[in-house]
Structure 1
Amino acid sequence: MAKKNKFRPVWHPALWPTWIVVFILFCISLLPLSTKLSLGEKLGKLLHKKLKSRAKVTRKNIAACFPELSDEEQARLIEDTFISCSKGFMETTHVWWRDVQPMVDNLTIIGHEHLLEAQKRGKGILLLSGHFTIFDLALPLIGSQLHKPGYMYRPNDNPVIDRMIEKGRRRHCDIQGFSKRNLRGMIKYIKEGGSVWYAADQDFGRHSTEFVDFFGVNTACISAPSWIARETDASVLVVSQFRLPNGKYEIAFSPILENFGKDDAKDAQEWNAYLEAEIRRHPDQYLWLHKRFKTRKPGDDPIY
């Protein structure tokens, strides 16, 4: 049914229930941020108990990536991951309808000099990232530091949900979105000096062509970042984004990845190594609910 929805106009009667969901989310967004985060913590604890299949995936991921942790420590990290994801969902409603400037004004930036160096080079910038749990809040936080910000995304099958998400994202920083179906537009944008945020860290199945070490696991990766770098001659950095215990937010830029695009396997290992190091700083703020290790190299044992 979801695949049929995308061919319907957004006001089609079949989509009215979705509009009710959008209205509920809008009402939630009107709550103070502190209240939303408190609700997110309660929701995360509830979902940890109720979403058994996702909890199982998270447990498998954490066991594979953090074997040094005791059973109790792993269990705590699993619950903390659900809490962090739920807080991220609440923050996302804030991004879609509320003012995020106070978050930007209090932003902590690590490695800002690396971004400034990339901007001085006068070329486009490719910002490789991961699926951290502040979700859509990453875009205005990072976009606020860029001259011509953009991002890559996968359109939602439901046109109402897709409209809500993309209108919410593009409220800030004059940021431009490029779907996976508009790679030519994104390439042109980068060549003209644009900076594009791209989270390429999920499992893309048969599209994965490289296998590199990620938390000690032989992990499938796509070569698209290397191809984009070759096509655009962009400066490539890795960026992470976190929620801090003091209520502020942080983004961190890596040094420029020199010669990126010449060796797909080397490129994939380089940005995954940086991503791993960043995740280890706040391990509960990575999207462990995703089956990151679903695609296995022939001969490797399944994770799930």
Structure 2
Amino acid sequence: MDRPRFRARFLHPRFWLLWLGLGLLWLLVQLPYVCLLWLGRGLGALMFHLAGSRRRIARRNLELCFPELSEARREQLLRENFASTGIAFFEMAMSWWWPRQRLARLARIEGLEHLQRAQAEGRGVILMAFHFTTLEIGAALLGQRQTIDGMYREHSNPVFDYVQRRGRERHNADATAIEREDIRAMLRVLRAGRAIWYAPDQDYGRKQSLFAPLFGIPAATVTATTKFARLGKARVVPFSQSRLADGSGYRLVIHPPLEDFPGESEEADCRRINQLVEQAIRQQPEQYLWAHRRFKTRPDGEPSLYS
């Protein structure tokens, strides 16, 4: 995919309001990091009250995944999760516009040698990430240290798409964004020994998934991780990140490559992936993207869990 380029049509009056909003966000994000955390929590509190449908989805997910917790504790987690989502809005802008050195000071990276060793062997790497609210800034911080490509879904607004892609690709001149549906391009990248960011922990429907337990609930789980690893002759290297509670930045962890993956079957691989997802969520449940209907697709005959 070509690098994003500015187009004269982006100056059309129908985009002026968006440009104004982006400009105001750019100004806000120049504030000190501690101020952005405070603003993000405030935005999250506002979203909690206004985004009723997303609040109900997140609350239901917490009920399903943490039945052992009291209702009061789950409600506290829900509010903390919306605060984390509000902070993520400013983290997105930080990753797009902060000077590289200012951004890099927030990173505490562990396990980079696992990624580097796999690539030194000439193997492609599926950097298996999960949908935490910190995913945007986590990818940016790692991209400053190591070339990683990313799966990409084109935004319907061409101006926002341009700004988003430019922001994401600026951390490494060699990084590229690959359209999510372009399977051939992804396999070419893997066979060339490159690393690509990929998150398999959302519900993409029955067609490309198998059911595997997640928090004890059958969850539609994509089989693409197995297919990409096999056809791209790639290692699968789990990657996680977390926002530190003391406000000092972010901890990024690149875990050892999965051994014996792909395994004996796609079903076994899906179960293994969901075990990793669950372990990561339990370590920081307030930072996961609970507003997604993770259990939307149900096995035949089972009712919706989001009625």
Q: TM-score, normalised by structure 1?
A: 0.91
The offset of 1:53, in angstroms, is: 0.9
Task: Indicate the SS of the match to 2:10.
Answer: coil
Query: Counterpart of 2:242?
Result: 242
Query: Counterpart of 1:261?
Result: 262
> Are 1:285 and 2:284 an aligned pair?
no
Alignment check: 8 A CA contact 1:236 1:260 kept:
yes
Query: Counterpart of 2:253?
Result: 252
Distance 2:111 2:68 in 1: 29
Query: Counterpart of 1:60?
Result: 60
Q: Kindly tell me: are residues 301 and 40 of structure 1, through their superposed partners in 2, closer, same or farther at Cα, counting changes over 3 Å?
A: same
> Are 1:203 and 2:203 an aligned pair?
yes
Say which is worse superposed, 231-240 or 60-69, in terms of deviation: 231-240
Distance 1:258 1:294 in 2: 31
The offset of 1:32, in angstroms, is: 2.0
Alignment check: 8 A CA contact 1:47 1:82 kept:
yes
> Are 1:159 and 2:158 an aligned pair?
yes
Alignment of 1:121-200 (within 5 A): 121-146=121-146, 148-174=147-173, 175-200=175-200
Distance 1:144 1:207 in 2: 36
Say which is worse superposed, 260-269 or 276-285, in terms of deviation: 260-269
Once the two structures are superposed, residues 30-82 of structure 1 have per-residue CA deviations (whole angstroms, 9 ceiling, x without a partner) of 22222111100111112111211111000000000011110100000000000
Q: Kindly tell me: are residues 57 and 215 of structure 1, through their superposed partners in 2, closer, same or farther at Cα, counting changes over 3 Å?
A: same
Query: Counterpart of 1:4?
Result: none
Distance 1:36 1:232 in 2: 40
Distance 2:34 2:17 in 1: 29
Query: Counterpart of 1:72?
Result: 72
Once the two structures are superposed, residues 116-164 of structure 1 have per-residue CA deviations (whole angstroms, 9 ceiling, x without a partner) of 4423432111111111111311212222343x31111211111111111
Task: Indicate the SS of the match to 1:125.
Answer: strand
Once the two structures are superposed, residues 179-212 of structure 1 have per-residue CA deviations (whole angstroms, 9 ceiling, x without a partner) of 1133322221221121001112111124342111
Distance 1:144 1:88 in 2: 19
Query: Counterpart of 2:5?
Result: none
Query: Counterpart of 2:217?
Result: 217
Alignment of 1:82-101 (within 5 A): 82-101=82-101
Question: Cα RMSD (Å) of the superposition?
Answer: 1.9
Alignment check: 8 A CA contact 2:94 2:103 kept:
no
The offset of 1:102, in angstroms, is: 4.1
The offset of 1:23, in angstroms, is: 1.9
Alignment check: 8 A CA contact 2:126 2:198 kept:
yes
Say which is worse superposed, 216-225 or 97-106, in terms of deviation: 97-106
Distance 1:108 1:32 in 2: 19
The offset of 1:230, in angstroms, is: 1.4
Q: Kindly tell me: are residues 118 and 70 of structure 1, through their superposed partners in 2, closer, same or farther at Cα, counting changes over 3 Å?
A: same
The offset of 1:272, in angstroms, is: 1.8
Q: Kindly tell me: are residues 9 and 184 of structure 1, through their superposed partners in 2, closer, same or farther at Cα, counting changes over 3 Å?
A: farther
Say which is worse superposed, 249-258 or 232-241, in terms of deviation: 249-258
Which consecutive unaligned segments of at least 5 residues does structure 1 have?
1-7
- Which amino acid counterpart does residue 237 of structure 2 have in structure 1? L
Task: Indicate the SS of the match to 1:205.
Answer: coil
- Which amino acid counterpart does residue 163 of structure 1 have in structure 2? Y
Once the two structures are superposed, residues 73-124 of structure 1 have per-residue CA deviations (whole angstroms, 9 ceiling, x without a partner) of 0000000000001111111111111124344345333444533442343211
- Which amino acid counterpart does residue 272 of structure 1 have in structure 2? N
Which consecutive unaligned segments of at least 5 residues does structure 2 have?
1-7
Distance 2:215 2:288 in 1: 13
Q: TM-score, normalised by structure 2?
A: 0.90
Task: Indicate the SS of the match to 2:11.
Answer: coil
Give percent identity, aligned residues only. Answer: 35
Alignment check: 8 A CA contact 1:128 1:197 kept:
yes
Task: Indicate the SS of the match to 1:109.
Answer: strand
Query: Counterpart of 2:300?
Result: 298
The offset of 1:239, in angstroms, is: 0.9
